[in-house]
Chain A
Amino acid sequence: MQGLLSVRGLEKHFGGLAAVQKVDLDLQEGVTTALVGPNGAGKTTLFNLITGNIVPDSGTVTVAGAAVTGRRPHEIARLGVARSFQDLRLFGRMTVRDNVLAAIEHGAWFWQPGGGAARRAREAAVESALERTGLSHLAKARAVDLSYAETKFLSVARILATGARIWLLDEPASGLDLNSRNRFVALVREAVAAGVTVCLIEHNLDIVTELADRIAFLDRGAKLAEGEPAAILRDPELIAIYFGERRP
Protein backbone atom coordinates (compact mmCIF):
# COMPACT_ATOMS: atom_id res chain seq x y z
CA MET A 1 0.00 0.00 0.00
CA GLN A 2 1.31 3.44 -0.89
CA GLY A 3 2.17 5.39 2.25
CA LEU A 4 1.72 9.03 3.21
CA LEU A 5 5.28 9.38 2.02
CA SER A 6 6.35 6.90 -0.57
CA VAL A 7 9.69 6.20 -2.20
CA ARG A 8 9.98 4.05 -5.33
CA GLY A 9 13.16 2.78 -6.95
CA LEU A 10 15.26 5.64 -5.64
CA GLU A 11 18.87 5.66 -6.84
CA LYS A 12 21.82 7.97 -6.37
CA HIS A 13 25.43 7.52 -7.40
CA PHE A 14 28.33 9.73 -6.34
CA GLY A 15 31.02 9.11 -8.90
CA GLY A 16 31.35 5.34 -8.95
CA LEU A 17 29.82 4.88 -5.52
CA ALA A 18 26.19 3.76 -5.29
CA ALA A 19 25.02 5.73 -2.25
CA VAL A 20 21.41 4.61 -2.59
CA GLN A 21 20.27 1.87 -4.95
CA LYS A 22 16.71 0.89 -5.89
CA VAL A 23 15.22 1.72 -2.52
CA ASP A 24 11.45 1.41 -1.97
CA LEU A 25 10.07 2.76 1.27
CA ASP A 26 6.60 3.63 2.52
CA LEU A 27 5.87 5.69 5.58
CA GLN A 28 2.32 4.74 6.51
CA GLU A 29 0.31 7.38 8.28
CA GLY A 30 0.79 7.20 12.04
CA VAL A 31 3.39 4.44 11.79
CA THR A 32 6.86 5.12 13.15
CA THR A 33 9.61 3.70 10.96
CA ALA A 34 13.25 3.38 11.95
CA LEU A 35 16.06 3.28 9.39
CA VAL A 36 18.75 1.00 10.74
CA GLY A 37 22.07 0.00 9.29
CA PRO A 38 25.82 0.41 9.65
CA ASN A 39 27.60 3.69 8.97
CA GLY A 40 27.64 4.56 5.30
CA ALA A 41 24.50 2.54 4.59
CA GLY A 42 22.95 5.54 2.84
CA LYS A 43 20.42 6.48 5.51
CA THR A 44 21.18 10.20 5.58
CA THR A 45 21.50 10.26 1.80
CA LEU A 46 18.00 8.79 1.64
CA PHE A 47 16.73 11.68 3.80
CA ASN A 48 18.56 14.16 1.56
CA LEU A 49 16.92 12.60 -1.51
CA ILE A 50 13.45 12.69 0.05
CA THR A 51 13.75 16.32 1.12
CA GLY A 52 15.13 17.50 -2.22
CA ASN A 53 18.61 18.40 -0.99
CA ILE A 54 19.98 15.96 -3.54
CA VAL A 55 18.31 15.17 -6.84
CA PRO A 56 18.05 11.40 -7.42
CA ASP A 57 19.44 9.74 -10.56
CA SER A 58 16.20 7.81 -10.89
CA GLY A 59 13.14 6.85 -8.88
CA THR A 60 10.27 8.85 -7.43
CA VAL A 61 9.19 10.37 -4.14
CA THR A 62 5.54 11.15 -3.46
CA VAL A 63 4.02 12.97 -0.49
CA ALA A 64 0.30 12.31 0.07
CA GLY A 65 0.03 11.10 -3.50
CA ALA A 66 1.71 14.12 -5.07
CA ALA A 67 5.03 13.57 -6.90
CA VAL A 68 7.76 15.75 -5.41
CA THR A 69 10.81 14.33 -7.16
CA GLY A 70 13.02 17.13 -8.44
CA ARG A 71 11.23 19.84 -6.51
CA ARG A 72 13.27 22.20 -4.41
CA PRO A 73 13.79 21.58 -0.68
CA HIS A 74 11.71 24.50 0.54
CA GLU A 75 8.75 23.42 -1.59
CA ILE A 76 8.89 19.90 -0.18
CA ALA A 77 9.20 21.33 3.33
CA ARG A 78 6.06 23.37 2.83
CA LEU A 79 4.13 20.20 2.02
CA GLY A 80 4.57 19.22 5.65
CA VAL A 81 7.86 17.34 5.64
CA ALA A 82 10.15 18.49 8.46
CA ARG A 83 13.61 17.12 9.15
CA SER A 84 16.43 17.32 11.62
CA PHE A 85 20.12 17.05 10.83
CA GLN A 86 22.72 14.82 12.39
CA ASP A 87 24.86 17.91 13.01
CA LEU A 88 21.70 19.87 14.02
CA ARG A 89 22.40 22.98 11.87
CA LEU A 90 20.79 25.37 14.28
CA PHE A 91 20.74 29.06 13.45
CA GLY A 92 23.70 29.57 15.78
CA ARG A 93 23.82 33.33 16.21
CA MET A 94 20.06 33.69 16.66
CA THR A 95 18.08 33.31 19.88
CA VAL A 96 16.26 30.12 20.75
CA ARG A 97 12.92 31.80 20.12
CA ASP A 98 14.05 33.19 16.76
CA ASN A 99 15.35 29.76 15.76
CA VAL A 100 11.87 28.32 16.16
CA LEU A 101 10.06 31.36 14.77
CA ALA A 102 12.30 31.44 11.67
CA ALA A 103 11.45 27.79 11.06
CA ILE A 104 7.77 28.57 10.53
CA GLU A 105 7.95 31.80 8.54
CA HIS A 106 7.72 30.86 4.90
CA GLY A 107 6.94 34.16 3.21
CA ALA A 108 9.86 35.25 1.09
CA TRP A 109 9.02 38.94 0.77
CA PHE A 110 9.76 41.59 3.36
CA TRP A 111 6.67 40.58 5.34
CA GLN A 112 4.65 37.45 6.13
CA PRO A 113 1.20 36.83 4.68
CA GLY A 114 -1.85 36.54 6.92
CA GLY A 115 -1.51 39.69 9.00
CA GLY A 116 -1.84 39.94 12.78
CA ALA A 117 -3.90 36.82 13.33
CA ALA A 118 -1.36 34.63 11.56
CA ARG A 119 1.45 36.31 13.47
CA ARG A 120 -0.22 35.59 16.81
CA ALA A 121 -0.78 31.99 15.73
CA ARG A 122 2.92 31.64 14.91
CA GLU A 123 3.92 33.14 18.23
CA ALA A 124 1.62 30.74 20.04
CA ALA A 125 3.11 27.80 18.13
CA VAL A 126 6.60 28.92 19.14
CA GLU A 127 5.67 29.29 22.81
CA SER A 128 4.03 25.89 22.85
CA ALA A 129 6.99 24.22 21.13
CA LEU A 130 9.43 25.79 23.57
CA GLU A 131 7.31 24.75 26.51
CA ARG A 132 7.00 21.15 25.38
CA THR A 133 10.74 20.87 24.80
CA GLY A 134 11.52 22.54 28.12
CA LEU A 135 13.30 25.51 26.56
CA SER A 136 10.97 28.34 27.58
CA HIS A 137 13.37 29.72 30.15
CA LEU A 138 16.11 29.87 27.48
CA ALA A 139 14.02 31.66 24.86
CA LYS A 140 16.41 34.63 24.74
CA ALA A 141 19.66 32.66 24.84
CA ARG A 142 21.63 32.25 21.65
CA ALA A 143 21.70 28.80 20.11
CA VAL A 144 25.51 28.63 20.26
CA ASP A 145 25.38 29.18 24.02
CA LEU A 146 23.17 26.15 24.74
CA SER A 147 24.30 22.88 26.27
CA TYR A 148 24.44 19.77 24.11
CA ALA A 149 21.09 18.35 25.24
CA GLU A 150 19.45 21.76 24.88
CA THR A 151 20.63 22.05 21.27
CA LYS A 152 19.14 18.63 20.57
CA PHE A 153 15.80 19.72 22.00
CA LEU A 154 15.94 22.98 20.08
CA SER A 155 16.27 21.03 16.85
CA VAL A 156 13.12 19.12 17.85
CA ALA A 157 11.34 22.33 18.88
CA ARG A 158 11.93 23.75 15.38
CA ILE A 159 10.21 20.73 13.88
CA LEU A 160 7.44 20.64 16.47
CA ALA A 161 6.44 24.23 15.77
CA THR A 162 6.06 23.66 12.04
CA GLY A 163 3.08 21.36 12.60
CA ALA A 164 4.50 19.11 9.87
CA ARG A 165 2.77 15.76 9.36
CA ILE A 166 5.95 13.93 8.52
CA TRP A 167 9.08 14.10 10.65
CA LEU A 168 12.42 12.82 9.41
CA LEU A 169 14.76 12.63 12.40
CA ASP A 170 18.49 11.98 11.85
CA GLU A 171 20.00 10.49 15.03
CA PRO A 172 17.97 12.77 17.26
CA ALA A 173 18.83 11.05 20.55
CA SER A 174 22.53 10.32 20.08
CA GLY A 175 24.61 11.35 23.06
CA LEU A 176 21.69 12.24 25.31
CA ASP A 177 21.84 11.48 29.03
CA LEU A 178 19.22 9.10 30.41
CA ASN A 179 16.85 11.79 31.65
CA SER A 180 16.95 13.77 28.41
CA ARG A 181 16.63 10.60 26.42
CA ASN A 182 13.44 9.64 28.24
CA ARG A 183 12.01 13.13 27.76
CA PHE A 184 12.83 12.83 24.07
CA VAL A 185 11.08 9.47 23.73
CA ALA A 186 8.00 10.87 25.49
CA LEU A 187 8.02 13.88 23.16
CA VAL A 188 8.05 11.73 20.03
CA ARG A 189 5.32 9.47 21.42
CA GLU A 190 3.17 12.51 22.13
CA ALA A 191 3.63 13.69 18.55
CA VAL A 192 2.82 10.27 17.13
CA ALA A 193 -0.32 10.15 19.26
CA ALA A 194 -1.27 13.52 17.79
CA GLY A 195 -1.05 12.03 14.27
CA VAL A 196 2.53 12.69 13.17
CA THR A 197 4.25 10.13 10.95
CA VAL A 198 7.83 9.68 12.10
CA CYS A 199 10.84 8.21 10.34
CA LEU A 200 14.05 8.15 12.33
CA ILE A 201 17.65 7.15 11.79
CA GLU A 202 18.90 5.75 15.06
CA HIS A 203 21.86 3.71 16.21
CA ASN A 204 20.58 3.06 19.70
CA LEU A 205 18.54 -0.12 19.31
CA ASP A 206 16.80 0.44 22.66
CA ILE A 207 15.29 3.64 21.36
CA VAL A 208 14.40 1.91 18.12
CA THR A 209 12.46 -0.82 19.94
CA GLU A 210 10.80 1.75 22.17
CA LEU A 211 9.62 4.02 19.35
CA ALA A 212 9.50 2.14 16.08
CA ASP A 213 6.60 0.14 14.69
CA ARG A 214 8.66 -0.90 11.69
CA ILE A 215 12.30 -1.18 10.80
CA ALA A 216 13.85 -0.77 7.37
CA PHE A 217 17.35 -2.21 7.29
CA LEU A 218 19.83 -0.57 4.92
CA ASP A 219 23.32 -1.61 3.96
CA ARG A 220 25.58 -0.19 1.25
CA GLY A 221 22.75 1.86 -0.18
CA ALA A 222 20.28 -0.98 -0.56
CA LYS A 223 17.31 -1.95 1.58
CA LEU A 224 18.00 -5.49 2.77
CA ALA A 225 14.88 -6.07 4.85
CA GLU A 226 11.83 -4.39 6.28
CA GLY A 227 9.40 -5.52 8.93
CA GLU A 228 8.42 -5.64 12.58
CA PRO A 229 11.27 -4.63 14.92
CA ALA A 230 11.23 -7.99 16.72
CA ALA A 231 11.65 -9.94 13.46
CA ILE A 232 14.43 -7.71 12.10
CA LEU A 233 16.39 -7.51 15.30
CA ARG A 234 16.27 -11.29 15.69
CA ASP A 235 17.73 -11.94 12.25
CA PRO A 236 21.32 -13.07 12.96
CA GLU A 237 22.53 -12.18 9.48
CA LEU A 238 21.34 -8.57 9.74
CA ILE A 239 22.71 -8.23 13.25
CA ALA A 240 26.07 -9.49 12.03
CA ILE A 241 26.10 -6.82 9.31
CA TYR A 242 24.96 -4.18 11.76
CA PHE A 243 27.80 -4.88 14.15
CA GLY A 244 30.28 -4.97 11.34
CA GLU A 245 30.95 -8.70 11.34
CA ARG A 246 30.37 -8.81 7.65
CA ARG A 247 31.35 -12.02 6.00
CA PRO A 248 33.64 -11.67 2.98
Chain B
Amino acid sequence: MIAYLLNLATLATVFGILAASLNLLIGYAGIFSMAHAVFFGLGAYAGAQIAMLLVPDVLLACLAAAAVAGLLSLCLALPALRVRGEYFVVASLGLQMVAITVFSEAHAVTGGHGGLVGIPPATLFGLNIGDPGAFLLVCLAVLALVLLGIRVLMRGSFGRSLMAIRDSESAAKAFGKDVPRIKTLAVGLGCALAGVAGALFAFYMAFVNVESFTLEQSVLVMAMVIIGGTATLAGPLIGVLLLLLLPAGLSFLTFIPPTEIGAVQQFIYGLAMTLLMIFRPAGIAGLSTGRR
Protein backbone atom coordinates (compact mmCIF):
# COMPACT_ATOMS: atom_id res chain seq x y z
CA MET B 1 0.00 0.00 0.00
CA ILE B 2 2.80 2.37 0.97
CA ALA B 3 4.62 1.51 -2.23
CA TYR B 4 1.44 2.23 -4.18
CA LEU B 5 0.98 5.63 -2.54
CA LEU B 6 4.64 6.52 -3.03
CA ASN B 7 4.30 5.61 -6.68
CA LEU B 8 1.21 7.77 -7.07
CA ALA B 9 2.81 10.68 -5.20
CA THR B 10 5.98 10.58 -7.29
CA LEU B 11 4.04 10.45 -10.55
CA ALA B 12 1.82 13.30 -9.37
CA THR B 13 4.89 15.37 -8.55
CA VAL B 14 6.53 14.75 -11.92
CA PHE B 15 3.29 15.54 -13.75
CA GLY B 16 2.86 18.56 -11.50
CA ILE B 17 6.13 19.96 -12.85
CA LEU B 18 5.07 19.10 -16.40
CA ALA B 19 1.63 20.69 -16.03
CA ALA B 20 3.04 23.79 -14.36
CA SER B 21 5.46 24.22 -17.26
CA LEU B 22 2.66 23.88 -19.82
CA ASN B 23 0.58 26.36 -17.83
CA LEU B 24 3.39 28.86 -18.38
CA LEU B 25 2.74 28.54 -22.11
CA ILE B 26 -1.04 28.10 -22.22
CA GLY B 27 -2.09 30.15 -19.23
CA TYR B 28 0.35 33.02 -19.08
CA ALA B 29 1.73 33.30 -22.59
CA GLY B 30 -1.40 32.28 -24.51
CA ILE B 31 0.66 29.83 -26.59
CA PHE B 32 -1.55 26.78 -27.02
CA SER B 33 0.99 24.06 -27.53
CA MET B 34 -0.19 20.55 -28.29
CA ALA B 35 3.39 19.30 -28.42
CA HIS B 36 4.38 19.43 -24.77
CA ALA B 37 5.00 15.70 -24.52
CA VAL B 38 7.75 16.16 -27.12
CA PHE B 39 9.79 18.27 -24.73
CA PHE B 40 8.97 15.96 -21.83
CA GLY B 41 10.38 13.21 -24.03
CA LEU B 42 13.47 15.15 -25.08
CA GLY B 43 14.24 15.71 -21.40
CA ALA B 44 13.66 12.06 -20.58
CA TYR B 45 15.98 10.85 -23.35
CA ALA B 46 18.64 13.43 -22.50
CA GLY B 47 18.48 12.61 -18.79
CA ALA B 48 18.55 8.88 -19.46
CA GLN B 49 21.56 9.15 -21.77
CA ILE B 50 23.49 11.25 -19.25
CA ALA B 51 22.70 8.72 -16.52
CA MET B 52 23.68 5.73 -18.65
CA LEU B 53 26.78 7.15 -20.33
CA LEU B 54 28.15 9.56 -17.72
CA VAL B 55 26.93 9.61 -14.12
CA PRO B 56 23.39 9.09 -12.82
CA ASP B 57 23.44 12.46 -11.08
CA VAL B 58 19.96 13.98 -10.91
CA LEU B 59 21.15 17.57 -10.99
CA LEU B 60 23.38 17.04 -14.00
CA ALA B 61 20.68 15.07 -15.82
CA CYS B 62 18.09 17.74 -15.12
CA LEU B 63 20.39 20.48 -16.38
CA ALA B 64 21.18 18.54 -19.54
CA ALA B 65 17.50 17.79 -20.07
CA ALA B 66 16.59 21.44 -19.60
CA ALA B 67 19.31 22.50 -22.04
CA VAL B 68 18.26 20.04 -24.76
CA ALA B 69 14.54 20.74 -24.41
CA GLY B 70 15.14 24.47 -24.10
CA LEU B 71 17.29 24.62 -27.23
CA LEU B 72 14.95 22.53 -29.33
CA SER B 73 12.04 24.65 -28.13
CA LEU B 74 13.02 26.90 -31.02
CA CYS B 75 11.07 24.44 -33.19
CA LEU B 76 8.01 25.58 -31.28
CA ALA B 77 8.99 29.23 -30.88
CA LEU B 78 9.40 29.68 -34.61
CA PRO B 79 5.77 28.98 -35.51
CA ALA B 80 4.68 30.79 -32.32
CA LEU B 81 6.27 33.95 -33.68
CA ARG B 82 4.92 33.56 -37.19
CA VAL B 83 1.34 32.44 -36.70
CA ARG B 84 -1.38 32.59 -34.09
CA GLY B 85 -4.58 30.90 -33.07
CA GLU B 86 -5.63 27.88 -35.07
CA TYR B 87 -2.51 27.95 -37.20
CA PHE B 88 -0.25 27.60 -34.22
CA VAL B 89 -2.22 24.75 -32.71
CA VAL B 90 -2.03 22.93 -36.01
CA ALA B 91 1.69 23.64 -36.26
CA SER B 92 2.28 22.23 -32.80
CA LEU B 93 0.23 19.16 -33.68
CA GLY B 94 2.42 18.75 -36.75
CA LEU B 95 5.53 19.05 -34.61
CA GLN B 96 4.17 16.41 -32.23
CA MET B 97 3.51 13.97 -35.08
CA VAL B 98 6.92 14.49 -36.68
CA ALA B 99 8.71 14.23 -33.33
CA ILE B 100 7.04 10.94 -32.46
CA THR B 101 8.31 9.46 -35.71
CA VAL B 102 11.79 10.78 -35.03
CA PHE B 103 11.66 9.33 -31.50
CA SER B 104 10.71 5.92 -32.79
CA GLU B 105 13.26 5.91 -35.61
CA ALA B 106 16.34 7.45 -33.99
CA HIS B 107 17.41 4.16 -32.43
CA ALA B 108 20.91 5.34 -31.51
CA VAL B 109 19.60 8.00 -29.12
CA THR B 110 16.15 6.83 -28.10
CA GLY B 111 16.28 3.09 -28.50
CA GLY B 112 13.34 3.27 -30.89
CA HIS B 113 10.17 1.46 -29.88
CA GLY B 114 12.10 -0.71 -27.46
CA GLY B 115 13.16 2.40 -25.59
CA LEU B 116 16.09 2.89 -23.23
CA VAL B 117 16.31 0.14 -20.65
CA GLY B 118 18.37 -0.03 -17.46
CA ILE B 119 18.68 3.57 -16.40
CA PRO B 120 20.74 3.38 -13.19
CA PRO B 121 19.27 4.54 -9.85
CA ALA B 122 19.60 8.25 -9.24
CA THR B 123 22.32 9.88 -7.18
CA LEU B 124 22.74 13.43 -6.00
CA PHE B 125 26.29 14.68 -5.40
CA GLY B 126 27.37 11.06 -5.03
CA LEU B 127 24.59 10.24 -2.55
CA ASN B 128 22.30 7.38 -3.54
CA ILE B 129 18.69 8.57 -3.78
CA GLY B 130 17.38 5.55 -5.64
CA ASP B 131 15.12 4.67 -2.71
CA PRO B 132 11.48 5.62 -3.57
CA GLY B 133 11.02 7.83 -0.49
CA ALA B 134 14.22 9.78 -1.06
CA PHE B 135 13.46 10.18 -4.76
CA LEU B 136 9.99 11.51 -3.96
CA LEU B 137 11.58 14.11 -1.69
CA VAL B 138 13.90 15.21 -4.48
CA CYS B 139 10.97 15.46 -6.89
CA LEU B 140 8.94 17.46 -4.38
CA ALA B 141 11.88 19.81 -3.91
CA VAL B 142 12.12 20.34 -7.67
CA LEU B 143 8.36 20.93 -7.90
CA ALA B 144 8.56 23.47 -5.08
CA LEU B 145 11.43 25.26 -6.81
CA VAL B 146 9.60 25.29 -10.12
CA LEU B 147 6.40 26.64 -8.57
CA LEU B 148 8.32 29.26 -6.63
CA GLY B 149 10.19 30.28 -9.76
CA ILE B 150 7.02 30.55 -11.81
CA ARG B 151 5.30 32.53 -9.07
CA VAL B 152 8.16 35.01 -8.75
CA LEU B 153 8.51 35.42 -12.50
CA MET B 154 4.80 35.77 -13.16
CA ARG B 155 4.32 38.34 -10.43
CA GLY B 156 7.24 40.30 -11.83
CA SER B 157 7.74 42.27 -14.99
CA PHE B 158 8.32 39.18 -17.14
CA GLY B 159 4.93 37.79 -16.17
CA ARG B 160 3.28 41.12 -16.85
CA SER B 161 4.91 41.29 -20.26
CA LEU B 162 3.77 37.78 -21.11
CA MET B 163 0.22 38.36 -20.00
CA ALA B 164 0.11 41.70 -21.78
CA ILE B 165 1.13 39.94 -25.01
CA ARG B 166 -1.46 37.23 -24.33
CA ASP B 167 -4.23 39.79 -23.85
CA SER B 168 -3.29 42.12 -26.71
CA GLU B 169 -0.17 41.58 -28.74
CA SER B 170 -0.50 44.78 -30.73
CA ALA B 171 -0.94 46.92 -27.62
CA ALA B 172 2.06 45.21 -26.01
CA LYS B 173 4.15 46.16 -29.05
CA ALA B 174 2.83 49.71 -28.95
CA PHE B 175 4.10 49.95 -25.37
CA GLY B 176 7.63 48.88 -26.18
CA LYS B 177 7.53 45.12 -25.63
CA ASP B 178 9.98 43.11 -27.70
CA VAL B 179 7.36 40.46 -28.41
CA PRO B 180 9.50 37.90 -30.32
CA ARG B 181 12.15 37.83 -27.65
CA ILE B 182 9.70 37.58 -24.76
CA LYS B 183 7.77 34.78 -26.46
CA THR B 184 10.94 32.89 -27.33
CA LEU B 185 12.11 33.12 -23.73
CA ALA B 186 8.75 31.94 -22.41
CA VAL B 187 8.65 28.99 -24.80
CA GLY B 188 12.26 28.16 -23.93
CA LEU B 189 11.57 28.27 -20.21
CA GLY B 190 8.35 26.26 -20.42
CA CYS B 191 9.97 23.59 -22.57
CA ALA B 192 13.12 23.45 -20.43
CA LEU B 193 10.99 22.80 -17.35
CA ALA B 194 9.13 20.08 -19.25
CA GLY B 195 12.57 18.62 -19.96
CA VAL B 196 13.36 18.59 -16.23
CA ALA B 197 10.13 16.71 -15.57
CA GLY B 198 11.18 14.28 -18.28
CA ALA B 199 14.56 13.59 -16.70
CA LEU B 200 12.94 12.89 -13.33
CA PHE B 201 10.43 10.64 -15.06
CA ALA B 202 13.23 8.69 -16.73
CA PHE B 203 15.02 8.09 -13.42
CA TYR B 204 11.83 7.08 -11.70
CA MET B 205 10.72 4.60 -14.34
CA ALA B 206 14.30 3.38 -15.01
CA PHE B 207 12.99 2.86 -18.54
CA VAL B 208 11.67 5.22 -21.18
CA ASN B 209 10.11 4.61 -24.55
CA VAL B 210 8.18 6.53 -27.12
CA GLU B 211 4.77 5.51 -25.71
CA SER B 212 5.09 8.12 -22.95
CA PHE B 213 5.56 11.02 -25.35
CA THR B 214 2.67 10.65 -27.76
CA LEU B 215 -0.11 13.03 -28.71
CA GLU B 216 -2.28 11.34 -26.06
CA GLN B 217 0.21 12.42 -23.42
CA SER B 218 0.23 15.99 -24.72
CA VAL B 219 -3.56 16.00 -24.59
CA LEU B 220 -3.58 14.54 -21.09
CA VAL B 221 -1.27 17.28 -19.80
CA MET B 222 -3.31 19.90 -21.60
CA ALA B 223 -6.46 18.50 -20.00
CA MET B 224 -4.79 18.68 -16.58
CA VAL B 225 -3.96 22.34 -17.02
CA ILE B 226 -7.33 23.30 -18.47
CA ILE B 227 -9.49 21.28 -16.08
CA GLY B 228 -7.52 22.63 -13.12
CA GLY B 229 -7.55 26.20 -14.36
CA THR B 230 -5.09 28.12 -16.50
CA ALA B 231 -2.97 31.04 -15.34
CA THR B 232 -3.27 29.96 -11.71
CA LEU B 233 -0.54 28.41 -9.62
CA ALA B 234 -2.75 25.77 -8.01
CA GLY B 235 -4.86 24.95 -11.08
CA PRO B 236 -2.47 22.60 -12.87
CA LEU B 237 -1.78 20.73 -9.61
CA ILE B 238 -5.49 20.23 -9.00
CA GLY B 239 -5.85 18.98 -12.56
CA VAL B 240 -2.94 16.56 -12.12
CA LEU B 241 -4.39 15.11 -8.92
CA LEU B 242 -7.85 14.72 -10.42
CA LEU B 243 -6.69 13.03 -13.59
CA LEU B 244 -4.15 10.78 -11.87
CA LEU B 245 -6.59 9.74 -9.17
CA LEU B 246 -9.30 9.06 -11.72
CA PRO B 247 -7.97 5.64 -12.85
CA ALA B 248 -7.24 4.71 -9.24
CA GLY B 249 -10.78 5.66 -8.26
CA LEU B 250 -12.31 3.83 -11.21
CA SER B 251 -10.60 0.60 -10.22
CA PHE B 252 -12.81 0.57 -7.11
CA LEU B 253 -15.93 0.51 -9.28
CA THR B 254 -16.12 -3.23 -9.68
CA PHE B 255 -18.85 -3.22 -12.33
CA ILE B 256 -16.45 -1.79 -14.89
CA PRO B 257 -14.46 -4.63 -16.48
CA PRO B 258 -10.74 -3.99 -15.90
CA THR B 259 -10.02 -4.11 -19.61
CA GLU B 260 -12.32 -1.14 -20.21
CA ILE B 261 -10.92 1.07 -17.45
CA GLY B 262 -8.63 2.88 -19.85
CA ALA B 263 -11.48 3.71 -22.20
CA VAL B 264 -13.84 4.75 -19.40
CA GLN B 265 -11.16 6.99 -17.98
CA GLN B 266 -10.61 8.58 -21.39
CA PHE B 267 -14.33 9.06 -21.74
CA ILE B 268 -14.57 10.80 -18.38
CA TYR B 269 -11.81 13.24 -19.06
CA GLY B 270 -13.12 13.97 -22.50
CA LEU B 271 -16.50 14.64 -20.94
CA ALA B 272 -14.93 16.81 -18.24
CA MET B 273 -13.05 18.88 -20.83
CA THR B 274 -16.17 19.46 -22.89
CA LEU B 275 -18.50 20.27 -20.00
CA LEU B 276 -15.96 22.59 -18.41
CA MET B 277 -15.47 24.50 -21.63
CA ILE B 278 -19.23 24.92 -21.99
CA PHE B 279 -19.97 25.88 -18.40
CA ARG B 280 -16.71 26.99 -16.71
CA PRO B 281 -14.06 27.93 -19.26
CA ALA B 282 -11.86 29.23 -16.44
CA GLY B 283 -11.38 25.75 -14.95
CA ILE B 284 -11.79 24.54 -11.37
CA ALA B 285 -9.24 26.81 -9.69
CA GLY B 286 -10.37 29.71 -11.85
CA LEU B 287 -13.82 29.24 -10.35
CA SER B 288 -12.93 28.89 -6.69
CA THR B 289 -10.26 31.52 -6.24
CA GLY B 290 -11.44 34.08 -8.73
CA ARG B 291 -8.23 35.32 -10.25
CA ARG B 292 -4.91 33.93 -9.18
Contact = CB atoms under 8 A, between A and B. Distances in A.
Given A91-B168, A93-B167, A110-B185, A77 B161 contact: no
Interface stretch (A29-37, A100-108, A197-205, A240-248): A100-108
Interface in B157-211: 157-158, 160-161, 163-164, 166-168, 170-179, 181-182, 185
Contacts of A72: 173
A235 to B, nearest CB: 33
Interface residues of A, number: 33
B42 to A, nearest CB: 22
A102 B179 contact: no
B125 to A, nearest CB: 27
A102 B182 contact: no
B177 A91 contact: no
B157 A107 contact: yes
Given A74-B176, A77-B176, A90 B167 contact: yes
B291 interface: yes
Contact of B173 (A74, A90, A93, A110): A74
B290 to A, nearest CB: 9
A102 B174 contact: no
B231 interface: yes
Interface stretch (A7-15, A18-26, A78-86, A224-232): A78-86
Nearest to A140: B291
Given A74-B176, A110-B153, A110-B185, A101 B160 contact: yes
B85 interface: no
B168 A89 contact: yes
A53 B173 contact: yes
B179 A110 contact: no
Contacts of B179: 74
A39 to B, nearest CB: 21
A108 B175 contact: no
A106 B177 contact: yes
A198 B189 CA distance: 40
B170 A85 contact: yes
Contact of A103 (B166, B175, B185): B175
Given A108-B182, A110-B153, A98 B173 contact: no
B156 interface: yes
B168 A105 contact: no
A90 B168 contact: yes
Interface in B69-93: none
Contacts of B182: 108
A78 B167 CA distance: 20
A92 to B, nearest CB: 5
A47 B179 CA distance: 20
B121 to A, nearest CB: 34
Contact of B164 (A85, A91, A142): A91
A162 interface: yes
B181 A102 contact: no
Interface of B: 153, 156-158, 160-161, 163-164, 166-168, 170-179, 181-182, 185, 231, 291
Interface of A: 51, 53, 72-74, 77-78, 82-83, 85, 89-94, 98-99, 101-112, 142, 158, 162
29 contacts: A51-B174, A73-B173, A74-B178, A74-B179, A77-B174, A78-B176, A82-B174, A82-B175, A85-B170, A90-B167, A90-B168, A91-B163, A91-B164, A91-B167, A91-B171, A92-B168, A93-B163, A93-B166, A98-B163, A102-B157, A102-B160, A102-B172, A103-B164, A106-B176, A106-B178, A107-B157, A111-B156, A142-B291, A162-B175
Given A91-B168, A110-B153, 14 more contacts: A91-B163, A91-B171, A92-B168, A93-B166, A93-B231, A94-B160, A94-B163, A101-B157, A102-B177, A104-B175, A106-B178, A109-B158, A112-B157, A162-B176
